[in-house]
Chains A and B, each alone.
Chain A
């Protein structure tokens, strides 16, 4: 369970938001809404611990995230604006290495089936620099398939994706929630999860 209370963040001298509070229970999903520059990405990065908040606290399962330190990292999966894939490595190597960083050892077969599910069949061994923008995003999103994290923090997960890929991502998120996972995301595209109500948090 993720509890955020009275959170305030600023970028430079500008206060982005203050007094932000919400609770996310297992199986729940929340969309962060707001105009460009309203602090959506900053909020997500604050939850990850990249940015320190001016005020307020973030609590995970009853313990402050700041005191959990590195142990909290095992519980979250963050997907940022950047795909976090190396151009010189193949899709297979990229996924294997990023899974290994979160403590999951994958066999080649498992990696290939994950990439295949995201429509990258036959491109597993190509260096990622020859892939298109949408395909690179798919490689990054393949991490969702192999992740064991409880909380998914997704910043614009649907950017550069086609309709079929969007449907697949919705399916993946629904699976994750039905297993008792949590997700918080930002998007400017509509995202429907079957049988789930997507809560919204508006930043202004």
Chain B
């Protein structure tokens, strides 16, 4: 038997989930289009006052990103649970946490990363300056993976429950509040001429914390849900 290293297993899971996501592009696009729609509704609803739009921009973009990332969370484990592939993944000779990490990373790449990439275009709708836009992107880049990690724990806990989607949002959204606070505060700091470093550092610390513990916690939650 060939030894499967942790890293090659991680790569395998990410590649598999990416292939599956590319075969079902509609799922990826719905998250992105939802994000674009929600963000674009605000300038229409609030009216074209530049001062006001610039002020609400970071909050709107972050809240929309938060909600959009909830949309696809339900499918993170449930699709594999329904066709039995999750059981097979649990029987690999590698720790389950590695597989969970791979699935979460792949989930972020198809549902979090596109949001980060499209955000600058949406920021222009709100008349955001280049500097504040840059910090917004940086914040999203650090924050959205954490959303996927926390969401992964919630998705594992609610696996197989009827009406799990709503429960998942109720469970995960409160836990995402710190990300929202630091992410928007970083942009506000730049807008008022202060340094965003402290907020971004805290986001980075949350990312490290989530990377370390979330896969392991989600793996334990999966084991409980599979019984």
Measured CB to CB, the residues of A under 8 A from B are 48, 50-52, 70-71, 73-74, 76, 78, 80-89, 93, 97-98, 100-105, 127, 148
Contacts and interface: CB of A to CB of B under 8 A. Distances in A.
Smallest CB-CB A-B distances: 9 pairs = A82-B84, A84-B84, A88-B23, A74-B93, A103-B4, A84-B88, A101-B92, A73-B91, A73-B93
Nearest to A70: B93
A203 to B, nearest CB: 19
A67 to B, nearest CB: 15
Contact of A83 (B2, B16, B84, B95): B84
B162 interface: no
A89 B20 contact: yes
Given A48-B91, A70-B93, A70-B94, A105 B2 contact: yes
Interface in B77-123: 82-85, 87-95
Contacts of A97: 12, 16
A87 B4 contact: no
Contact of B87 (A74, A82, A103): A82
B220 to A, nearest CB: 13
A84 B85 contact: yes
Residue among B12, B83, B89 with max Cβ neighbours from chain A (10 Å): B83
Given A48-B91, A70-B94, A78-B88, A101 B83 contact: no
Interface in B44-95: 82-85, 87-95
Nearest to B226: A50
A103 B1 contact: yes
B131 interface: no
A142 B90 CA distance: 19
Interface residues of B, number: 25
B91 A98 contact: no
B19 interface: yes
Contacts of B16: 97
Nearest to A88: B23
Contact of B92 (A73, A82, A87): A73
Residue among B3, B83, B88 with max Cβ neighbours from chain A (10 Å): B88
A154 B82 CA distance: 19
Contact of A104 (B2, B19, B24, B87): B2
Given A81-B84, A84-B84, A89-B23, A74 B1 contact: yes
Nearest to B86: A84
Contacts of B23: 88-89, 127
Contacts of B95: 70
Interface in B3-24: 3-4, 12, 16, 19-20, 23-24
18 contacts: A48-B91, A70-B92, A70-B95, A73-B91, A78-B88, A78-B91, A80-B84, A83-B84, A85-B85, A86-B83, A88-B20, A93-B19, A97-B16, A100-B12, A101-B92, A102-B91, A103-B1, A105-B2
